[in-house]
Amino acid sequence: MPSCVLAYSGGLDTSVILGWLMDEGYDVHAVYVDLGQPCEDREATMQKARDIGAKSAKLIDAQEEMCRDFAFPVMQWQAKYEGVYLLGTSIARPIISKVCLQVAREVGADAYAHGATGKGNDQCRFQLAAEALDPSIEIIAPWRMENFRNAFPGRSEMIAYCDAKNIPVKASVSKPYSSDENCLHISYEAGELEDLNVNGVEKVDFGMTVSPQAAPDEVEEVTIDFESGIPKQVNGEALAPHELVRKLNEIGGRNGVGRIDMVENRFVGMKSRGVYEAPGMTILYDAHRVLEQLTMDRDLMHLRDTLSPVVAEMVYYGFWYAPKLDALLAFINDAQKHVTGQVKLQLYKGNIIVEGRTSPNSLYDEGIATMEGGGSYNQTDAEGFLRIQGLPSRVQGRITPREY
């Protein structure tokens, strides 16, 4: 009998897919990759997989690895897809594929199944990561299969299937939007959010953040320490990566930090609307940029900023395990070696305000930068600098004069 691993969440879709794969003759090994998503009872979720008939059911906590090896390098790149989105879902998918393939190797499965639709980005992220890690793996994507879509044209048919199979699911025939959560963020899309005239931040019942209007009326201060571009401490407390993100989620969340509403371009070609909240990562991006302003060479920072959209696009599309991204991650690791220091921020009703910053590697020299008299910068030197810089323009101006 053929066997496969299934990226399993315990929700309606993957519960149905688990049963359907068994109907199709597969031994199914359910893999729940714990990235901090909500679940009332993880053991009950895994027991449900076993009750449905999974050959095995494994829960693997990958929160630490995701924050340390995936989210923090992306943050060091200051990578934001289309200038806004912090890539919380995009970052999660390659590590889910990695863990599922590790289990596939352990149990001898030769196929990998997931519940991503044929319209979205996640199918790309799951498959591109899996095929890069194991080129021989067979991908099973039921939503891209016509016989599966014919059997389950809507949620009512899926719920009826679960009722017939005695599969317990908490689902209603309709809901206003869908959501996806991990410890980095929560995303909200589809349903009523597809109407661009619906106010997304009013429609969504946010799980991590209060609204800026409902945030406290007083400033909250937070201090973050970095070593070589990696956040290490919050308010003087040393924390492991995922604990640090969770701590900042709490602090940022109660101050209304980190909500966005955007229309983005999916890899498959369509535009879609997403509402996101990422309080902790939003704080980290801002604090990290503030510290870089002190410690990073101008030309190096500008090169990084030129390449940052390339990194964001690769992560969003699903090319995590690609030679180009390998090289770019090696580059940022070296570029960040002097980004060490402390940043003090004030949080107030969704705003992030810089209170102070310090670094043993600071390139800021008050004696050079001061606008007061004296100092170690001789303004007379600027005369020759500008004459040389302006030489091409003066020659061009004589040969091809501009109208003015």
Q: Report pLDDT digits (tens) over 102-112.
A: 999 999 999 99
Q: Is the pLDDT of residue 175 over 90?
A: no
pLDDT at 296: 98
Q: Is 307 domain-assigned?
A: no
Tell me phi and psi for residue 231, to 5 degrees: -70, 135
144 plus 204 within the same structural domain: no
pLDDT digits (tens, 9 = 90+) for 185-202: 999 999 999 999 999 999
pLDDT at 173: 67
Tell me phi and psi for residue 344, to 5 degrees: -110, 125
Q: Is 78 domain-assigned?
A: yes
pLDDT digits (tens, 9 = 90+) for 347-374: 999 999 999 999 999 999 987 877 776 6
The Cα 167–Cα 13 span in angstroms is 12
pLDDT at 400: 97
Rounded average pLDDT over 13-30 = 97
Rounded average pLDDT over 137-153 = 97
Radius of gyration of the chain (CA): 25
What is the DSSP code (8-state) at residue 84? T
Of 156, 174, 178, 211, catalytic: 178
Is 178 labeled as catalytic in the residue annotation? Answer: yes
128 plus 47 within the same structural domain: yes
Rounded average pLDDT over 216-240 = 98
Name the residue among 151, 163, 115 with its Cα closest to residue 7.
115
Confidence at 394, pLDDT banded by 50, 70, 90: very high
The Cα 200–Cα 263 span in angstroms is 11
What is the DSSP code (8-state) at residue 229? T
pLDDT digits (tens, 9 = 90+) for 237-292: 999 999 999 999 999 999 999 999 999 999 999 999 999 999 999 999 999 999 99
pLDDT at 377: 86
What domain count does the chain have?
Answer: 2
Of 9, 56, 122, 286, catalytic: 122
Rounded average pLDDT over 29-56 = 93
pTM across the whole model:
0.95
Separation in Å, CA 79 to CA 91, 184, 297, 315, 332: 11, 14, 18, 9, 11
Is 122 labeled as catalytic in the residue annotation? Answer: yes
137 plus 197 within the same structural domain: no
Domain boundary among 165, 192, 225: 165
Q: Is the pLDDT of residue 171 over 70?
A: no
Tell me phi and psi for residue 354, to 5 degrees: -80, 125
Task: Look at 4-13, 38-47, 353-362 and tell me which has the smallest mean pLDDT.
Answer: 38-47
pLDDT at 375: 73
What CATH number should be reported for the domain holding residue 15? 3.40.50.620
pLDDT at 401: 96
Cβ neighbours for 22, distance < 8 A, ≥ 6 positions apart: 28, 52, 53
190 plus 292 within the same structural domain: yes
Rounded average pLDDT over 25-42 = 93
Q: Is 303 domain-assigned?
A: no
Give the HSE-up count for residue 255: Cα atoms under 13 Å, Cβ half-sphere.
26
247 plus 143 within the same structural domain: no
Handedness of CA 146, 18, 188, 176 (dihedral sign): positive
pLDDT at 291: 98
Q: Is 331 domain-assigned?
A: no
Confidence at 39, pLDDT banded by 50, 70, 90: confident
Rounded average pLDDT over 143-165 = 94
Cβ neighbours for 123, distance < 8 A, ≥ 6 positions apart: 114, 116, 117, 141, 143, 144
Tell me phi and psi for residue 44, to 5 degrees: -65, -35
Of 15, 56, 93, 259, catalytic: 93
105 plus 234 within the same structural domain: no
The three-state secondary structure class of 7 is: strand
Is 93 labeled as catalytic in the residue annotation? Answer: yes
Name the residue among 208, 175, 227 with its Cα closest to residue 333.
227
Other beta carbons less than 10 A from residue 169's beta carbon: 17
Which residue range forms the structural domain that includes residue 210? 178-296+338-358
160 plus 217 within the same structural domain: no
262 plus 202 within the same structural domain: yes
What CATH number should be reported for the domain holding residue 265? 3.90.1260.10
pLDDT at 241: 98
Cβ neighbours for 277, distance < 8 A, ≥ 6 positions apart: 185, 186, 206, 207, 208, 209, 253, 258, 259, 260
The Cα 384–Cα 399 span in angstroms is 23
pLDDT digits (tens, 9 = 90+) for 314-347: 999 999 999 999 999 999 999 999 999 999 999 9
pLDDT at 366: 83
Q: Is 183 domain-assigned?
A: yes
Average pLDDT score over the chain: 96
Of 9, 13, 56, 286, catalytic: 13
